[in-house]
Amino acid sequence: MTQQLNLLRGALLLVILVISANSFAQIPQNGVSQSKAPYYALTNARIFVSPTETLEKATILIKGTTIEKVGKRVSIPKNAVEIDCEGLTIMPSFIELSSDIGVQKAVAKKGNGRPQLESLKPGSYYWNESIHPEIDASQGYAPNEKANKSYLDAGFGFAFTHQKDGVAQGQGALVSLAKSNLYKPTLNMGAGSYFSLSKGVSRQTYPSSQMGSIALLRQAFYDAQWYKSNEQTERNLSLEALNSQWDQASIFYTKDKWEILRAAKIAKEFDRSFAYVGSGDEYGITEELKALSSTIILPINFPKAYDVTDPYVARQIPLSDLKQWEMAAYNPSILVENGIPICITMEGHKTSKEFWAHLRKAVEHGLSSSEALKALTLNPAKLIGADDKIGSLESGKLASFTIYSSNPLEDASTEMIETWSLGERKIVKTYERPELAGKYSLLIGERRLPLKIDSKSPGKFSGSISPNGDEDSDSKIKVKLIVEQNDVTIQFGINDSIWKGSVNLRGKINHRLKIFEGDGMTPTGEWVKWHAVQTEKGKSVKDKEKKPFKTDSLAVAWFPNMAYGFDSIPESQPILFSNVTIWTNGIEGIVKKGFVLAENGKITYAGTRKPNTPRETIEIDGTGKHLTSGIIDEHSHIAISKGVNEGGQAISAEVSIGHVVHPDDINIYRQLSGGVTAAQLLHGSANPVGGQSALIKLKWGHTPEEMLIDDAPKFIKFALGENVKQSNWGSYATIRFPQTRMGVEQVYYDGFDRARAYQQEKASNPNYRVDLELEVLNEILNEERFISCHSYVQSEINMLMHVADSLGFRINTFTHILEGYKVADKMAAHGAGGSTFSDWWAYKYEVNDAIPYNAKMMHDQGVVVAINSDDAEMGRRLNQEAAKAVKYGGMDEEDAWKMVTLNPAKLLHLDNRMGSVEVGKDADLVLWTAHPLSIMAKVDYTVIDGVILFDSERDSELYQRNQAEKARIIAKMLNANAAGNKKDFVKKKKGHYHCNTIGEEGSTEENQH
């Protein structure tokens, strides 16, 4: 043994251990080493060898820690301990992949309230505290018996535990959960590391947003690649860890379905494949998941029904929450039906009872029990590369399994009988064969009484006797019946002509013959012999009918799965608008009694004669109405997930709103109702160089990728003034450079100097370190990326144009630009456009000189002027805002209209395909009930790429449908409430992003823009 021990020590890091019967014998023992049977043979069992193979009346032979043999005809060695498992079910131990069990939780360090810009972690680690792949769960693992117990109770034998914190979280460790004196809990098999898009406990300012987390992880991956391919003077343990984990399982925590798609983009960029810990709403993206073919680890802590007994509260519950409640239990089965591999995690459950209830619920909602088993055993084993040892019960694998009284996936009354962990047996409960149920003839002394024993669940019995001797008689007396292994106690009270009082019997059971016998006391105080013989077999628990699948044909997901979602995504169909006043925005100007035909997403005709149309054309009569191209919002912050600002650093060019587009924002639909068809989703204004923009079409019900405009020009947000110098961030935010307008200028010069140096490095060194931030700054220098700059006062506007001129690029757009009227001539000379508010001002000091004549005055100087929203409410009535240019300054109506259509298209370099009603352009059209600049104008239809996405008539129907759907689900919930299933409704505060919103949550406070 010593020899082996030494060998083990020497080989620990180099060899994958072949686990043999002896390989755990590393613990010196007191006295003679502990005795253990050489073999165990569990016979006559129903064995779930693997998810696809079940053997009846089979034997599993165990030697040491390992399964020697399994099968129907296994020859049992003489020296084996035989355990009869007649009627029992053996299942492989489950494997948990989403747990930090036994690993210390990361704790936030105490801060002083001031921003922490640099990492405070000493040692050779990555510069950002959210990247700590070097944390290895095996080093800190200490079994937490209480926590382990709930897993063991639920049938889990293994957990791949890890610290859950940060973006690169670290290495997982496979542990055996059962307590053992024979071996250490951490197993030398399975490998994988964990990631997330959440910063965790780090107090470092960067990243402060989800897009920042994405950029950070990408940069770390690039750094790891560079580290590997270059000779290094200094070591970096974090990068070494990332490299050593590169080809292992990489498991990504996600908080909603869109995060999976975001992380998958990173995987693709680095030619890697991730698995994902899901959140329960993945049924909404099955098509995308199919394409990924990644494993999804599913939580099944299905949402509890809200307490809806108070209708005032019930009406506050958003439809999306109700729909998720209804759909959640279908999630596992829908994924499996679509061929997406899943694992199931117990995370989110406190007790095994809750877990099993939910697991069975998933099965009732269509998940087959073999798929459920696979998701708990083989799939997780495969994912971490441990399926040669765990995950099924084939010979050579570890003898870790659970014995149940019946198939636990199908029978709610099943009981756990034994758990086996690496060949170590633990008896959970003595098995009481339910076959005891039946009719008996009970003889107490001389008196014969018919006895009936029922068993509702294994090991639990109830009985009754008929005192008059007639077993069909109605007069029955309840009998207390306790069975413990082979002992039985029977007790009942009786009051008749023979006995008055209590009868107490105690005896042994012969299970095979179904005979009880023993001694007892009668009410007369007489000590008598008794016995009972089975006369008729009772119904076995197993004979119970299988529950049918709980499918509700009304429970279907919408796109998106919330109010105003589509039943199915509408298809493109030719549309003809006829007899309508067309605001062409082209040389024809306003055309009366016109016709516009949209086919395959494009405008194919616009003119005054009725064109020939395909048969399936939808014709919309526009008599008395006005047709325009869709409104384009140059400055919007809707449809963004988890942070509009990456304010952690003064320059965050590496982050992109395009990475965090959020299609489930109801404001998309609301903007559609106001005729908006496209928008630039801008990064906020927290820093001089913000992040990259997302140019989207407002395709309600579509995925982020579908919303992003194909081949859109690249844009980035810059910002100046109060927000970037943190004027209104409180008295602690005085550390980050810049704090003055003077500093802002220097941030730009420094950034672009570094970018130029990087460009030279790239040209000369093939092994250069990729720098995502400088890559983007270079795109600006090379005029491959346009700037939209948040700006207010003329001094800073002037400054930035000087910076750009001196570096040889152009500021494409000044957005807000409230003092643009003071420098409109300079802007025109520089070639900058202006995208402004119609009339906002007075919300902070730097907008004190803002005037509503701004748009007109810039326009008059030849600046391309757009009017934007920066606000989800105003965004849906930009037509009114454009009309204000007529009021303030007397702008020509067509010019005013162009400020929300053609001009933003020009500023976004999309005017070759959007912004006017002309043949060849995208069919992004809006039909207005009146002159679009008039206060009376309402939207009848909004069309994007030839598809009607808003229809005012349908909108009213949807409103009714939403209410009906709500009522239907609430009724369902009331039933659940009646069954005692309820929790208080928690209303989420819905914030809206503005330019100055810091952190991942939207602002609900006073807007400062």
Partner 1 sequence: MEKKVQPKKINIKMKHIIIFFAFVSSVAFAQEPSRILLSGGNLHVGNGEVFESAAIGIEDGKITFIKNAFAFTLKESDWDTIIDVTGKEIYPGFVAPNSTLGLTEIDAVKATRDYRETGIYNPHVRSQIAFNVESKVMSTVRSNGVLLTQATPRGGIISGSSAVMTTNGWNWEDATVQKDDGIHLNWPSSMQGGGWWAEPAPKTKNKKYGERKQAIVEFFEMAKAYTQENNPEKKDLRLEAMRGCFDGTKRVYIHADELQELADVIEFSKALGLAYPVIVGGYDAHLITDLLKDSKIPVMVVRPHSLPENEEDAVDHAYRLPSLLKAGGVKFCIQNEGDMEAMNARNLPFLAGTAMAYGLSEEDAVSAITLWSCEIMGIDKSYGSVEKGKSATLFVSEGNALDMMTNQMVLGVVNGELISPSNFQQDLMEKYSKKYTK
Interface with partner 1 in residues 656-685 (CB under 8 A) = 666-667, 669-670, 673
The distance of closest approach from Cβ of residue 761 to partner 1 in the complex, given in angstroms and rounded to an integer, is: 38
**What residues between 604 and 643 interact with partner 1 by CB under 8 A?**
none
User: Where are any strands of DSSP class E within 236-350?
Assistant: 249-253, 275-277, 296-299, 342-345
Which range binds partner 1 by CB under 8 A, 382-390, 545-553, 620-628, 835-843? 835-843
298 vs 322 by CB, closer to partner 1:
322
d(CA 118, CA 130): 11
- Using the rule CB under 8 A, is 213 a contact of partner 1? no
- Using the rule CB under 8 A, is 182 a contact of partner 1? no
- Using the rule CB under 8 A, is 936 a contact of partner 1? yes
Among residues 82, 388, 517, 839, the one that binds partner 1 under rule CB under 8 A: 839
Among residues 31, 79, 287, 312, the one that binds partner 1 under rule CB under 8 A: 312
190 vs 280 by CB, closer to partner 1:
280
- Using the rule CB under 8 A, is 23 a contact of partner 1? no
User: Where are any strands of DSSP class E within 129-264?
Assistant: 156-161, 168-171, 173-176, 192-196, 249-253
- Using the rule CB under 8 A, is 883 a contact of partner 1? yes
Q: What letters, b where the CB count within 10 A reaches 16 and e where it falls short, cover 701-739? A: bbbbeebbbeebebbbbbbbbbbbbbbebeeebeebebe
Backbone dihedral angles phi then psi of residue 323, each to the nearest 5 degrees? -65, -40
The distance of closest approach from Cβ of residue 955 to partner 1 in the complex, given in angstroms and rounded to an integer, is: 7
- Using the rule CB under 8 A, is 895 a contact of partner 1? no
- Using the rule CB under 8 A, is 822 a contact of partner 1? yes
Alpha helices, H only, 861-942 = 878-887, 893-898, 902-907
The answer to whether residues 622 and 581 touch, using CB atoms and an 8 Å cutoff, is yes
Among residues 899, 905, 937, 973, the one that binds partner 1 under rule CB under 8 A: 937
Residue 511 structure tokens: 């299970």
d(CA 384, CA 391): 11
β-pairing verdict for 156-161 and 296-299: unpaired
- Residue 709-728 contact track with partner 1, rule CB under 8 A, x = bound: -------------x----xx
The answer to whether residues 400 and 92 touch, using CB atoms and an 8 Å cutoff, is yes
- 966: which residues sit within 8 A by CB, 6+ positions away? 315, 317, 319, 322
- Using the rule CB under 8 A, is 790 a contact of partner 1? no
- Using the rule CB under 8 A, is 826 a contact of partner 1? no
601 vs 999 by CB, closer to partner 1:
999
**SS3 (DSSP) at 190:** coil
Among residues 562, 580, 644, 947, the one that binds partner 1 under rule CB under 8 A: 562
For the beta carbon of residue 865, count every other beta carbon within 10 angstroms. 31
d(CA 799, CA 813): 14
805 vs 873 by CB, closer to partner 1:
873
Which range binds partner 1 by CB under 8 A, 433-441, 487-495, 742-750, 930-938? 930-938
Residue 15 structure tokens: 């060899």
- Using the rule CB under 8 A, is 821 a contact of partner 1? yes
- Using the rule CB under 8 A, is 848 a contact of partner 1? yes
535 vs 727 by CB, closer to partner 1:
727
Among residues 273, 566, 880, 909, the one that binds partner 1 under rule CB under 8 A: 880
- Using the rule CB under 8 A, is 316 a contact of partner 1? yes
912 vs 963 by CB, closer to partner 1:
963
d(CA 635, CA 649): 22
Among residues 249, 340, 384, 563, the one that binds partner 1 under rule CB under 8 A: 563
The distance of closest approach from Cβ of residue 135 to partner 1 in the complex, given in angstroms and rounded to an integer, is: 26
Counting every residue written for the chain, the total comes to: 1009
- Using the rule CB under 8 A, is 1008 a contact of partner 1? yes
Among residues 52, 486, 760, 963, the one that binds partner 1 under rule CB under 8 A: 963
- Using the rule CB under 8 A, is 953 a contact of partner 1? no
189 vs 937 by CB, closer to partner 1:
937
d(CA 829, CA 521): 112
Q: H or E segment at 743?
A: helix 741-764
Which range binds partner 1 by CB under 8 A, 129-137, 406-414, 796-804, 851-859? 851-859
Among residues 549, 732, 749, 959, the one that binds partner 1 under rule CB under 8 A: 959
Among residues 840, 897, 928, 941, the one that binds partner 1 under rule CB under 8 A: 840
**SS3 (DSSP) at 390:** coil
- Using the rule CB under 8 A, is 706 a contact of partner 1? no
- Using the rule CB under 8 A, is 468 a contact of partner 1? no
Q: What angle do CA 137, 138, 140 make, to 5 degrees?
A: 70
d(CA 8, CA 1): 10
- Using the rule CB under 8 A, is 890 a contact of partner 1? yes
147 vs 590 by CB, closer to partner 1:
590
The distance of closest approach from Cβ of residue 687 to partner 1 in the complex, given in angstroms and rounded to an integer, is: 16
β-pairing verdict for 438-444 and 275-277: unpaired
For the beta carbon of residue 974, count every other beta carbon within 10 angstroms. 16
466 vs 1007 by CB, closer to partner 1:
1007
d(CA 204, CA 193): 23
Which range binds partner 1 by CB under 8 A, 312-320, 550-558, 769-777, 781-789? 312-320
626 vs 877 by CB, closer to partner 1:
877
The distance of closest approach from Cβ of residue 820 to partner 1 in the complex, given in angstroms and rounded to an integer, is: 10
**SS3 (DSSP) at 232:** coil
**SS3 (DSSP) at 950:** strand
Size of the site for partner 1 (CB under 8 A): 83
Partner residues linked to 159 by β-bridges: 96, 175
**What residues between 91 and 120 interact with partner 1 by CB under 8 A?**
none
- Using the rule CB under 8 A, is 336 a contact of partner 1? no
765 vs 956 by CB, closer to partner 1:
956
311: preceding bond cis by omega (within 30 degrees): no
The distance of closest approach from Cβ of residue 822 to partner 1 in the complex, given in angstroms and rounded to an integer, is: 6
- Using the rule CB under 8 A, is 303 a contact of partner 1? no
Among residues 845, 912, 920, 978, the one that binds partner 1 under rule CB under 8 A: 845
Among residues 772, 962, 976, 982, the one that binds partner 1 under rule CB under 8 A: 962
Q: H or E segment at 620?
A: strand 618-621
- Using the rule CB under 8 A, is 731 a contact of partner 1? no
The answer to whether residues 32 and 73 touch, using CB atoms and an 8 Å cutoff, is no
Q: Which residue has the tokens 């010593």?
A: 2
Backbone dihedral angles phi then psi of residue 595, each to the nearest 5 degrees? -130, 140
The distance of closest approach from Cβ of residue 645 to partner 1 in the complex, given in angstroms and rounded to an integer, is: 10
Q: H or E segment at 704?
A: helix 704-707
8 vs 976 by CB, closer to partner 1:
976
Partner residues linked to 714 by β-bridges: 785
CA distances from 515 to 435, 442, 510, 519 (A): 12, 10, 5, 14
The distance of closest approach from Cβ of residue 899 to partner 1 in the complex, given in angstroms and rounded to an integer, is: 13
For the beta carbon of residue 960, count every other beta carbon within 10 angstroms. 9
Which range binds partner 1 by CB under 8 A, 216-224, 265-273, 310-318, 940-948? 310-318
d(CA 289, CA 293): 6
- Using the rule CB under 8 A, is 999 a contact of partner 1? yes
Amino acid occupying residue 388: D
- Using the rule CB under 8 A, is 886 a contact of partner 1? yes
d(CA 418, CA 569): 51
- Using the rule CB under 8 A, is 849 a contact of partner 1? yes
CA distances from 299 to 319, 376, 977 (A): 22, 11, 23
The answer to whether residues 517 and 507 touch, using CB atoms and an 8 Å cutoff, is yes
**SS3 (DSSP) at 352:** helix
Among residues 48, 356, 420, 564, the one that binds partner 1 under rule CB under 8 A: 564
